[in-house]
Amino acid sequence: MFKFVDLPVQLNDIESIDKDGQRFYPICEGVEYPSITTITSFRKAAFFKEWRQRVGEEVANRKTARATGRGTAFHSIVERYLKNESIDPADFDPLPFALFQVAKPTLNRINNIHLLEGALYSDYLGVAGRVDCIAEFDGDLAVIDFKTSDRDKKEQWIENYFVQETAYAVMFYERTGIQPKKIVTIISTEEGSCQVIEKTNLDHYFTLLKEYIHDFNSRNA
C-alpha cells in the first residue's frame, strides 16, 4: 500500500484554460501564468515543425495521436495504482496496460506520496503546471515524471523533461516550504524496458529554466 503524506498547507486545484493553443492557469483575478509544458514545448516547436515537414502531416498527426493516447491511458493506470485503487485490465487498451506492467517494479520504489496529479505555481517564476507525482523515490523526496516511448531516450533529447521537472521542484518548495532532493524521469518503453533517469544537482536545469521562460515571455510579449 502506498502511503500519502499530509502537507503543511492546502494546495487548491487550479483548472487550466487554453488560449490560441497555449495553456494558462488563472491564479487569481487578473493573474494568469503560462503552463510549464507550454513553455518547454515552445522551445521544441522548431524541431517538431521540421519533423512534420519531413514525415508529412498525415503521418505526424497519426503518430502524435497514438503517442498522446498511449501516454494519457498510461498515466491513468499509474494514478490508480498509486492511489491503491483496483485495476481491471479490461478497462484499458492492451498497450498502455502492458507499459504499466513494465513500469510496475519501478513504481514500487515510490512511497510517502506528497502530491499526485496536482496543480502548482510559482510567483517567482511566473509559471504554473500540473505535476505527475511528488513522493519519495528510493527514500528521497523527488519530483517524478511518468513517460511512455517507443524506445529508450538519450538524455540530450529530453532536456525539456528535466527543465520541466525542475520547475515543479521550485513550485512545490515555494508553495510548501518542502524541498525535493531530486528529479526522476520514468520512461516505460514499447521495447519492454523501463528507463529511470535521476538528477540531484538541479542548478544547470534551473539556469536553463529561466532561459526557457525568458524566451517564451520575449516572444509572447
Binned at pLDDT 50, 70 and 90, residue 118 comes out as: very high
pLDDT tens-place string over residues 39-61: 998 766 655 556 566 667 666 56
- Count Cβ atoms within 10 A of the Cβ of residue 113 and give its class: 0-12 exposed, 13-18 middle, 19 or more buried: middle
**Is 137 within a domain?**
yes
What pLDDT sits at residue 42? Answer: 73
Note whether residue 11 is domain-resident.
no
Please answer whether residues 109 and 121 qualify as being in contact, where contact means their C-beta atoms are separated by less than 8 angstroms: no
For residue 65, is pLDDT > 80?
no
Let me know if residue 6 belongs to a domain. Answer: no
Residue 2 lies in a domain: no
pLDDT of amino acid 7: 96
Q: Tell me the one-letter amino acid at 151.
A: R
| 3-state SS string for 54-67 | HHCHHHHHHHHHHH
Residue 126 has pLDDT above 90, yes or no: yes
pLDDT per position as a tens digit, 130-170: 999 999 999 999 999 999 999 999 999 999 999 999 999 99
Average pLDDT for 55-79:
78
In a domain, 116, yes or no: yes
Residue 133 and residue 115: Cα distance in Å, rounded? Answer: 6
Do the domain assignments include residue 7? no
Query: What's the average model confidence in pLDDT over 189-206?
Result: 96
Rounded to whole angstroms, the Cα distance separating 120 from 182 reads 17
Specify the DSSP class assigned to residue 7.
Answer: P
**Banded model confidence at residue 198, pLDDT cuts 50, 70, 90:** very high
- What is the phi/psi pair of residue 80, to 5°? -60, -45
CATH of the domain at 114: 3.90.320
**Under 8 Å between Cβ of 88 and 108:** no
Residue 178 buriedness (CB in 10 A; 0-12 / 13-18 / 19+): middle
The predicted pLDDT at position 77 comes to 96
- Please report whether residue 51 resides in a domain: yes
Q: Is the pLDDT of residue 69 over 70?
A: yes
Distance (Å, whole) CA 136 – CA 115 = 11
Three-state SS at 114: strand
Q: Within the chain, how many helices (H) and strands (E) appear?
A: 5, 8
The more confident residue out of 22 and 100 is 100
* pLDDT of 142: 98
H helix intervals, 34-183: 36-55, 57-82, 94-107, 159-176
| Number of structural domains in the chain | 1
Q: Quickly state the pLDDT bin for 175 (edges 50, 70, 90).
A: very high
- pTM for the whole thing? 0.92
- Residue 142 CA, chain-centre distance (Å), reads 12
Query: Across the chain, what does the average pLDDT equal?
Result: 91
Reported confidence tier of residue 182, pLDDT bands at 50, 70, 90: very high
Q: Give residue 113's domain range.
A: 17-219
